[in-house]
């Protein structure tokens, strides 16, 4: 019951947010929150650490962008094309990497993702190379909803992200999700019970890739462009950071982590200017140039004080307070 109330409060805040904040930035937050939740489905509930999720996020954006700009596809089909492309890349990468475990699995995903990155760099006609894919139109969703208005676009993206989050919740609590948890906790025992663990891992990998692709395609629709930054390995590192800060293995943790990290990246300079104005300390005007340092400091604090992530620690604390 408490979880349902929490979700309702979060949904109410999300509905009211565009009337207070900038809808495009808030839509971007939603995309990264979905990206982090997709990654958490793999690492938090299956125990697989992938360094290659940027490949799904970025390539879905490129496919969706080309579908909308160059192929003339409707908005919903463009997004779907990005999801399918990410799922297919995930199927290939997962099929190759799933045969290994631990750090070997992680390194294979990193190597394959870097191959995707260099492929995107050289495929200038498709990706725009270093200039990126520019001028992606928003169009009309389902042929009815004009996405030219930022607030309208926000609510469409909110609906997409809510449906995707519901799919993740349903997956985690389904028999399939319980098998994934069993694989994470004790893989040899899952094998002894007769489960084909490689098949379950691959399915989880492809589902995670598809959802990451949905986030990437939606981001391209929102901003109207796609660049190599989204395919680079640093994007994979960023989503790992989001998940760890918010709480790996929790449903809401990655969303909170994404909000914190992306808000810092985009708004730290504005907050520094405000602090300088209020306090009179000129040093705060330069804090926007030290985003990576501030993010790194937050990560260190979370590692030292919040081993389970912010949400994970709150859940553990609430569990301790319950009477036995």
CA distance 185 to 180: 9
Closest CA to 253 of 11, 44, 51, 47: 44
Cβ atoms of 213 and 53 closer than 8 Å: no
In a domain, residue 10? The reply is no
> Is pTM, for the whole model, over 0.85?
yes
Q: Which domain holds residue 144?
A: 22-321
Asked whether residue 64 is domain-assigned, the answer is yes
* 274 belongs to a structural domain: yes
pLDDT given at position 292: 75
Q: Could you tell me if residue 8 is inside a domain?
A: no
Q: Which two tokens stand for residue 85?
A: 């492309």
In a domain, 13, yes or no: no
Q: For residue 46, is it within any domain?
A: yes
Note the pLDDT of residue 180. 93
Residue 6 lies in a domain: no
Q: Helix and strand tally (H, E) in the chain?
A: 14, 2
Give me the tens of pLDDT residue by residue for the chain, a chain 324 residues long: 467 788 888 889 999 999 988 899 999 999 999 999 999 999 999 989 999 999 999 999 999 999 999 898 999 999 999 999 999 999 999 999 998 888 999 999 999 999 999 999 998 889 988 888 999 998 888 888 888 889 999 999 999 999 999 999 999 999 999 999 999 998 899 999 889 999 999 999 999 999 999 999 999 999 999 999 999 998 998 999 999 988 888 888 899 999 988 988 877 767 777 777 777 777 667 776 677 777 778 778 877 777 788 888 888 777 665 443
Three-state SS at 133: strand
pLDDT of 324: 39
For residue 323, what pLDDT is reported? 44
**Which CATH number characterizes residue 92's domain?**
1.10.3470
DSSP labels for 187-254? Answer: HHHHHHTT--HHHHHHHHHHHHHHHHHHHHHHHHHHHS-B-GGGTSHHHHHHHHHHHHHH-TT-SSHH
Domain count, the chain: 1
Decide: 61 and 136 in contact? Cβ < 8 Å: no
Q: Is residue 2 part of a domain?
A: no
**Rounded-to-10 torsion of CA 199, 171, 29, 210:** 30
Cα dihedral 143, 148, 150, 154, rounded to 10, equals 20
Contact 218, 119 (CB under 8 A): no
């Amino acid at each position: 019951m408490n979880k349902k109330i929490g979700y309702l409060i979060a949904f109410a805040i999300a509905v009211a947010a565009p009337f207070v904040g900038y809808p495009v930035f808030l839509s971007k937050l939603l995309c990264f929150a979905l990206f982090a939740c997709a990654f958490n489905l793999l690492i938090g509930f299956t125990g697989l650490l992938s360094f290659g999720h940027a490949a799904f996020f970025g390539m879905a954006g490129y496919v969706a962008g080309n579908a909308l700009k160059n192929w003339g596809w409707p908005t919903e089909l463009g997004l779907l094309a990005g999801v399918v492309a990410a799922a297919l890349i995930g199927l290939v990468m997962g099929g190759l990497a799933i045969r290994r475990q631990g750090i070997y699995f992680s390194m294979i995903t990193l190597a394959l993702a870097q191959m995707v990155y260099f492929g995107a760099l050289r495929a200038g006609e498709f990706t725009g190379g270093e200039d990126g894919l520019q001028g992606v139109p928003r169009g009309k969703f389902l042929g009815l909803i004009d996405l030219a208005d930022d607030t309208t676009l926000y609510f469409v993206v909110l609906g997409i992200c809510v449906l995707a989050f519901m799919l993740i919740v349903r997956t985690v609590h389904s028999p399939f999700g319980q098998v994934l948890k069993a694989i994470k906790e004790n893989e040899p025992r899952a094998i002894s019970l007769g489960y084909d663990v490689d098949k379950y891992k691959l399915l989880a990998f492809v589902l995670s890739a598809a959802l990451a692709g949905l986030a990437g395609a939606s981001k391209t629709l929102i901003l109207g462009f796609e660049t190599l930054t989204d395919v680079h390995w640093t994007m994979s590192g960023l989503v790992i950071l989001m998940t760890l800060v918010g709480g790996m293995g929790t449903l809401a943790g990655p969303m909170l982590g994404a909000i914190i990290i992306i808000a810092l990246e985009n708004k730290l300079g504005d907050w520094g200017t405000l602090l300088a104005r209020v306090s009179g300390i000129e040093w705060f005007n330069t804090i926007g140039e030290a985003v990576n340092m501030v993010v790194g400091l937050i990560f260190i604090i979370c590692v030292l004080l919040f081993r389970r992530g912010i949400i994970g620690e709150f859940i553990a604390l609430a569990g301790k307070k319950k009477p036995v």
